[in-house]
Amino acid sequence: MVDVILGLQWGDEGKGKIVDFFAKDYDVVARFQGGPNAGHTLYVKDKKVVLHQIPSGVFHAGITNLIGNGVVLDPVTLKKECDIVTSFGVDLKKNLFIAERTHLILPTHRALDKAAELSKGNEKIGSTLKGIGPTYMDKTGRNGLRVGDLLDKDFKNLYKNLKAKHQQLLDNYNFEEDISVWEEEFFTTIEYLKELNIVNGEYFINSKIKAGKRILAEGAQGTMLDIDFGTFPFVTSSNTTTAGVCSGLGIAPQLIRDVIGITKAYCTRVGSGPFPTELEGATGEELRKLGNEFGATTGRPRRCGWIDLVALNFACMINGVTKIVMTKADVLDTFKELQVCTEYEINGIRTKEIPFQMERTRPVPQYKSFAGWSSPSSEVNSFSNLPDTMKEYINFINQYLGVQVHFISNGPGRDQIIEVK
């Protein structure tokens, strides 16, 4: 049995916190896509930790964590993360496993990411510059190197040959930065990676499933950043949606049970690209301040806006969402009035569907207003004690989406979460 937790918006919905919260009900937590572009924040013993590639179940004793084949892995970032995690007394030899088919982010991939973004000027994607796009390009272009290749005696040569191809591209971009320091770091840290548990991910996970173990697949990014269904080309390079779980871990679709979709009570986006409900004035600034909306990976200010039910409805459809968790409800505590986008207007026509592209069509969001709850919800710990106005807001969302909000997160802390009963 496999359950999935994934983001329904443009990432940073609070997946890390929610995976950490649910992890105790599972035996294995597995990442199936993305790489160090992700930044999943959790609190361990009141200390803030941001995980990029290690699954968010890692702080629970007895839970196995798998980095699946669909992930792109940067050994340098991984080593830094491992050092942080082990400083909490976690024994990664016991609970972290890496699929040998996982593609490696090489120093030249990071250089290519940077060169490609620079060449785009104002059209840039706003990539995290972690090498994600070029690594997935080498995967689908059938050039990439994988974790299993590290065990090849000839790995240095494999790298050299691929670097020669990359160098031609870098020359085309007139990219002249010296990446020898990145290369040095890379070759030092792969020695560390080789000592970790490298496994055949697909047999590893399927044997666990056969033995009746419960698996939680942890998504990175969000549905609107999906390479197929997101706001292309302002997306990431992987399938962030439920479909990615099967190809990213090697499991069959009928094994998937619940798909738990995470949404903020409002909406954010970091990086470029369409964001119909974005608020550029004082209200957006207020959301950013109250929600502390700055990227966990890059520190960039996140763009903020109202919740977008057109996009959420689309995300529920694409992912087959069975349950919703709404995070950051507390951030709206002081707003007198809230807006919920229920339709887009495109060329004078109202629609509840996401268009093929939003760059040229520029949907105008149509809103329904709600009274704010104007009370400190972060101190509440039962559903019955939540303000009625918050319940009305959530009921409307439940009805619109036809999927229920099962949990409301009302603060960043591990215990700040309320079951809807």
- The site for ligand GDP (CB under 6 A) is made up of 7, 11-17, 39-41, 296, 327-328, 330-331, 409-412
CB nearer ligand IMO, residue 198 or residue 318: 318
Using Cβ positions, the residue closest to ligand IMO within the complex turns out to be 271
Q: Which of residues 258-297 bind Mg ion (CB under 5 A)?
A: 296
CA dist 165 and 51 (Å) reads: 32
Closer CB to ligand IMO, 125 or 318, in the complex: 125
d(CA 339, CA 362): 19
What pairing do the DSSP bridges indicate for beta strands 267-269 and 303-305? antiparallel
**Which CA distances in Å does 68 have to 144, 194, 355?**
16, 16, 32
Q: Does 327 bind ligand IMO (CB under 6 A)?
A: no
Cβ nearer to ligand IMO, comparing 212 with 299: 299
Residue 244 within binding range of Mg ion, rule CB under 5 A: no
Six-digit token string for 99: 């699929």
20 is catalytic: no
Cβ atoms 263, 12 nearer than 8 A: no
Is residue 36 within the footprint of ligand IMO (CB under 6 A)? no
What is the rounded CA–CA span in Å between residue 95 and residue 199? Answer: 12
How buried is 254 (Cβ within 10 angstroms: 0-12 exposed, 13-18 middle, 19+ buried)? exposed
> For ligand IMO, which stretch binds (CB under 6 A), given 214-222, 246-254, 309-317, 358-366?
214-222
| 409 touches ligand IMO by CB under 6 A | no
Q: Indicate which residue of 3, 25, 27, 40 is catalytic.
A: 40
Q: Which is nearer to ligand IMO, 16 or 250 (CB)?
A: 16
- Look at residues 20, 65, 23, 39 and name the one whose alpha carbon lies nearest to residue 221: 39
- C-alpha span between 362 and 266 (Å, rounded): 20
| Chain residues 24-43 in contact with Mg ion, contact rule CB under 5 A | 39
- Determine whether 109 is an active site residue: no
Judged by beta carbon distances under 5 to 8 A according to partner kind, the member of Mg ion, ligand GDP, ligand IMO, none in contact with residue 238 is: none
In angstroms, how far is CA 305 from the centroid of its own chain? 19
The CA distance from 189 to 176, in Å, is: 24
Which residues make up the interface to Mg ion (CB under 5 A)? 12, 39, 296
Kindly list the catalytic residues: 12, 40
Binding residues for ligand IMO (CB under 6 A): 7, 10-12, 34, 37-40, 125-128, 130, 132-133, 220-222, 225, 236, 270-271, 296
